[in-house]
Amino acid sequence: MTQEIQRVTNGETIKHDGDLTITEAIEDGATIIVTDGNLTVRNGVKIGKDVHLQTIRNQSKDDKSCNVFCYSEPGNSAFISSDNVIFLNACNNDTQLFALHFVRVTFTGSNCTIKSDGDVLAGVVYDDTTISAAGSVTVNDIHKNVKINADKDIHLNSYAAKNSKLNAKRDIHVRGYLGISCTVSAGNNLYMEEVFYNRDDLVFKIGNEIHLFEDQFAVQPVRIITPKPSQKPKKRLTLS
């Protein structure tokens, strides 16, 4: 049975076994640690800055347990950690998110850190944020100076602003445009799908192939770096 708490006060620490729901407010500096249960923060809950939200798996074998469901927006410098998944409506500047299996966030603030041992799904990612995933990363909009590292694939659905860096061990799919001085590194293939790039100083580091589709065009030249000949890659530029 889920227990409900209305308010966690300034600097207060709550430790709870089993499911816990917050219904009204989490004040500045509050800490909530849930063991073997889900932590749910309802929509409309006022959340202060410097809060610590965490779920820990101790004895539970339920794969639907130990999640953080936060439907409100924490203030700056939040720390959110889950031994399963994080579903977060939004976060502010200097937030840290850590999840064992999956992170989903609608938009981030600036200078955030997101790490997952699985996949990451993000909407709008603001300046100077770093995303690292042992799985794949899917994002819509990336603002400037964002770094994304994925052990599998990266899917960019809209645009990446200047000085952003995308690094995937497998494939990168770009369905938008790339800003000035972006670096795109794919261990396998780069797919530029129904997109254009018209910015200078772009760098593509590709282990295998670059695929450009027929409505693709480039106004400025780009620099393409492929592995050394000893690595015997397939280096082919294709136009569909």
Is residue 24 included in any domain, yes or no? Answer: yes
Is residue 153 included in any domain, yes or no? Answer: yes
CB atoms within 10 A of CB 5: 15
Quickly state the pLDDT bin for 208 (edges 50, 70, 90): confident
Q: Which two tokens stand for residue 219?
A: 């106004």
Q: Which two tokens stand for residue 57?
A: 């798996």
Is residue 103 included in any domain, yes or no? Answer: yes
Q: Which domain holds residue 65?
A: 3-177
> What is the rounded average pLDDT of the residues 21-49?
98
Is residue 9 included in any domain, yes or no? Answer: yes
CA atoms within 13 A on the CB side of 184: 31
Contacts of residues 160-167 at CB distance under 8 Å and 24 or more positions apart, as own/partner, are 162/199
Is residue 238 included in any domain, yes or no? Answer: no
pLDDT at 232 over 80: no
pLDDT tens sequence across 42-96:
999 999 999 999 999 999 888 899 999 999 999 999 999 999 999 999 999 999 9
Is residue 12 included in any domain, yes or no? Answer: yes
pTM for the model: 0.89
Sign of the alpha-carbon torsion through 216, 221, 227, 232: positive
pLDDT at 194: 56
Residue with tokens 């760098």, as numbered in its chain: 203
How far is the C-alpha of 182 from the C-alpha of 188, rounded, in Å?
18
**CB 49 within 8 Å of CB 28:** yes
pLDDT tens sequence across 162-206:
999 999 999 999 988 888 889 999 999 998 875 555 556 778 888
Residue with tokens 């994925």, as numbered in its chain: 150
Q: Provide the Cα torsion 36, 42, 46, 47; round to 10°.
A: 30
User: How many structural domains is the chain composed of?
Assistant: 1
Q: Which two tokens stand for residue 11?
A: 């600097």
Is residue 139 included in any domain, yes or no? Answer: yes
Is residue 207 included in any domain, yes or no? Answer: no
